[in-house]
Amino acid sequence: MPQTIRIRKGLNINLSGEASKTISERAIDYYALKPTDFRGINPKLDVQEGDKVRAGSILFHDKNSERLLFTSPVSGSVAQIIRGEKRVIQEICIQRDARMEFEDFGKADPAALTRDEIVDRLTRSGIWPVIRQRPYSVIANPSHTPKSIFISCFDSAPLAPDPVFILKELQTECNVGLSALAKLTGGRINLCMKQGSGQALEFAPDPKVAVHYFSGPHPSGNVGVQIHHLDPINKGETVWYIHIQDLALIGRLFLTGHYDATRIIALTGSEIIHPQYFRVHRGARISEILEDNVKPGNVRYISGNVLTGTRTARNGYLGFYDHQITVIPEGNHFEFLGWAKPGFGKFSFSRTFFSWFRPFRQYRLDTNLHGGTRAYVMTGQYEKVFPMNIYPLQLIKAILIKDIDLMENLGIYEVDEEDFALCEFIDTSKTEIQSIIREGLDLMRQEMN
């Protein structure tokens, strides 16, 4: 029995609007691939508006690395290319055909292929970008070999989809995916599962694949926390990671020869009338998933979870790496003497509001900041929700003064902005910690390249 790693520090935010365990199908007409979902790439278009594409046809590639191709999740025609300031490409929108047509990349048994052949199939099909690396949380470099690969088989974020439920039907595909990934690293593939949920994924015994169990509150499901506890990243090392549903996507590529971007997503949040799961394709338009399933009022649509997701418009699109849509109320209202009220219904990690009376209450939290931005006054609070042997406040300050050496010494290679999401949530001073961490990572990456 593998050892369980117990995460003690963290916080589960008990929000209302958890998805019920039913999967609905929905035919969606519009999809988009957003180059802005990928850190550090420089997109160069390969299609024009009106072009016909198939699932797996190249839409754009990275100017800096010819091997990074980004392909269409569905077959249809390029409906629109939306550009932002300085003509930066924002979205490439595809209108889907009635019948799905796939580019053919050829069926194969990954065990019989060489590493180069596997990398070649993954890059040509546009699946490669699902593999990301630490440090920096950018798309993995196909010509590198990571010291290990991590797959988190559970998501501990608020209202996150339950992978045990999703994985039931993906067992075969995941197993094929694992044998493909096994060729990519000299080290191990670490599957991190949640203790008590049973083995989420049944797989053929393989000396390269190791299973680990984690228990404890969010962020125990964050891959960064898992890497930190199992195989921490030192300077010069890289670790790759991939989402469990994308493992199945890789498996499907070798089983069918197609880029079949089907995924199961959770529609969650207090403002959804019937929170549930949907089977859609990557990049689906959010408004078509929502239809009239949203309560009236001023709401915020988030692709992803409430802590790390991206704010989108109602007619925006699901992010490349997101498996969840969350809809919560906007909080643009004043509250008279709000800071002085007893606060029986106010969520707080501290016990300064009387909501500690009811620890199991479900909350309908809005987007209000609940205060003004202040200097760093409180100390020791981030440590309570940051389960890594890293000093969070000291690292944040090192980034603010742009001290590269200090950032490196304090462990910036091991972290990602999502690891700091809870610090940002509980922050008394209301600073934007995730943005600060992202700036630090970007600065580090520029310095190192």
Partner 1 sequence: MKSLRKYLDTVKPQFMKGGRFGKLHSTFDAFETFLFVPDKVTFKGSHIRDSIDLKRTMSTVIVALLPALLFGIYNVGYQHFISYGQNPGFWHIVGYGLGKVLPLIVVSYGVGLGIEFIFAQYRGHEVNEGYLVTGMLIPLILPPDIPLWIVALSVAFAVIFGKEVFGGTGMNVLNPALLARGFLFFAYPAVMTGDKVWIAGKADAFSGETVLGHAMIGNTDQINDPMGMFIGLEPGSIGETSVVAILIGAVILLFTGIASWRIMLATILGTTALGLLVNAIGANEYMKLPFYYHYLMGGFAFGLVFMATDPVTSAQTNRGKWIYGFLLGALIIIIRVFNPAYPEGVMLAILLMNVFAPLIDHYVVQANIHRRLRRAMAAQAPFLNR
* Residues 366-385 interacting with partner 1 (rule: CB under 8 A): 366-381, 383-384
- From candidates 4, 429, 443, 445, binder to partner 1 by CB under 8 A: 429
CA distances from 85 to 48, 71, 88, 296, 438 (A): 19, 24, 6, 32, 21
Q: Which is nearer to partner 1, 115 or 397 (CB)?
A: 397
Q: Specify burial of residue 120 (Cβ count, 10 A radius: 0-12, 13-18, 19+).
A: middle
Tokens representing 92 are 């490439």
H or E segment at 310?
A: strand 310-312
Q: 298-327: which residues touch partner 1 (CB under 8 A)? A: 300, 302, 306-309, 311, 326
Interface residue with partner 1, options 145, 199, 315, 348 (CB under 8 A) = 348
CA distance linking residue 279 with residue 267, whole number of Å: 11
Q: Least distance (Å) from partner 1 to the CB of residue 77?
A: 34
Residues 253-272 that bind partner 1 (CB under 8 A): none
Q: Which is nearer to partner 1, 109 or 339 (CB)?
A: 339
User: What would you measure as the largest C-alpha separation in the chain, in angstroms?
Assistant: 68
Asked if 411 interacts with partner 1 (CB under 8 A), we say yes
Q: Which is nearer to partner 1, 22 or 352 (CB)?
A: 352
Closest distance between partner 1 and the C-beta of residue 158, in Å?
8
Among residues 159 and 247, whose Cβ is nearest to partner 1?
A: 159
Which residues neighbour 177 within 8 Å (Cβ) at sequence distance 6 or greater? 247, 248, 249, 250, 251, 254
**Whether the Cβ atoms of residue 389 and residue 429 lie closer than 8 Å to each other:** no
For residue 377, the minimal CB distance to partner 1 (Å) is: 5
Among 172, 234, 315, 362, binds partner 1 (CB under 8 A): 234
Distance CA 47, CA 60 (A): 7
Using N-to-C axis directions, what is the helix angle for 244-256 and 115-124, rounded to 10°? 100
Q: Which of 1, 27, 313, 337 binds partner 1 (CB under 8 A)?
A: 337
In the block, residue with structure tokens 């988009």: 32
By C-beta, is 175 or 312 nearer to partner 1? 312
Site for partner 1 (CB under 8 A): how many residues?
76
Site for partner 1 in 2-21 (CB under 8 A): 13, 15
Tell the smallest beta-carbon distance from residue 369 to partner 1 (Å).
4
Binders in 143-172 for partner 1, by CB under 8 A: none
Residue from 182, 203, 202, 204 nearest 110 by CA: 182
Q: Which of 259, 242, 254 is nearest to 72 (CA)?
A: 259
Q: What is residue 411's three-state secondary structure? A: coil
Nearer to partner 1, 195 or 429 (CB): 429
Q: Say which residues have a Cβ less than 8 Å from residue 281's Cβ, sequence separation at least 6.
A: 28, 31, 73, 74, 261, 262, 263
Cβ-based nearer residue to partner 1, 195 or 431: 431
Residue from the set 87, 112, 196, 334 that interacts with partner 1 by CB under 8 A: 334
Residue (171 or 428) nearer to partner 1, CB = 428
86 binds partner 1 (CB under 8 A): no
Among the residue ranges 61-69, 75-83, 231-239, 277-285, the one whose residues contact partner 1 (CB under 8 A): 231-239
Among 237, 288, 403, 439, binds partner 1 (CB under 8 A): 237
Cβ 303 to partner 1, closest distance in Å?
11
Residue 217 within binding range of partner 1, rule CB under 8 A? no
R_g (Cα) of the chain, nearest Å: 22
- Of 58-66, 282-290, 313-321, 361-369, the window that binds partner 1 (rule: CB under 8 A) is 361-369
Provide CB contacts within 8 A for 123, sequence distance 6+. 67, 68, 69, 142
404 Rama class: left (phi>0) / alpha (psi -120 to 50) / beta: alpha
Q: Which of 417, 440, 441, 444 is the binder for partner 1 (CB under 8 A)?
A: 417
